[in-house]
Amino acid sequence: MARLSQIPNAKLDLASANVLIVGDRPSEQDILAQMLMGFGVSGIQRCTTAEEGLRIVDRETIDLSLVDGGMKESSGHWMISEIRRQSKEAARHLPIVLVCGHLRRSDIFKARDCGANFVLTKPIVPQVLFDRIVWLARDQRQFIECDTYVGPDRRVKAYGPPLGIPGRRHDDLSEHVGAAREENLSQGAIDGFFGATKVTI
């Protein structure tokens, strides 16, 4: 099956895409699956642990994975790092979106440094998810492999996040982390960590 980046950009047809959702909350999995089906995705797989997700990625061809960063019993960050470093060659380049609740700036760096392509904050809005999938399909970043990092090039200059997506999230905190200790980052600010905005000087 074609990788996500090989789907023509003119019309993003996701009918043949195989998407893996990893998270330990069935209700949140249901929401993501409904969104994906609304985008035309028919191949949707689910699992509840990072370990099971690794087995699926190594066994099957997955075109996109949505990984919950707040699983209680297993780490989404660890899963992404393992995919980047330990999985079979074809799976190492898998586009991965880390889905999280309340995020601090340090959490964004942690997500980026484990090899995630992007981070999305809860609650997920269908239009934002679709925009990021389109963005991933058009992503031309090189894949970097070195002793300290394996994943999409973090140094690339890009055009920044899609326009027209206002900042969200003022009080939608994850129950796992308790009250916020600093201001929530907007989705646009989070996206900015994954590709510098092009500026004219």
CATH superfamily label, 15-197: Response regulator (3.40.50.2300)
Per-residue pLDDT, 46 = 97
Q: Which long-range contacts (CB under 8 A, 24 or more apart) does 134-138 make?
A: 134/9, 134/12, 134/162, 135/161, 135/162, 136/4, 136/5, 136/64, 136/95, 136/97, 137/4, 137/5, 137/7, 137/9, 137/12, 138/5, 138/9
Contact 85, 150 (CB under 8 A): yes
Closest by alpha carbon to 174, among 21, 49, 22, 24?
A: 24
- Which has the closest alpha carbon to 149: 192, 118, 112, 119? 112
Q: Are strands 150-152 and 143-145 parallel, antiparallel or unpaired?
A: antiparallel
Peptide bond into 123 cis (omega under 30): yes
Element (H, E) at 85: helix 76-86
Residue 199 has a pLDDT of: 46
Which band of pLDDT confidence, cut at 50, 70 and 90, is reported for residue 193?
A: low
Q: Where are the domains of the chain?
A: 15-197
CA 153, CA 123: separation in Å to the nearest integer? 27
For residue 107, name the pLDDT band (cuts at 50, 70, 90): confident
**What does the pLDDT average to over 71-95?**
89
Mean pLDDT of the 148-152 span: 89
| Phi, psi (deg, nearest 5) at residue 21 | -105, 125
Nearest to 168 by CA among 96, 108, 105, 103: 103
> Would the pLDDT of 102 be above 50?
yes
Looking at residue 31, its pLDDT comes to 96
| Confidence (pLDDT) at 153 | 85
pLDDT at 177 over 50: no
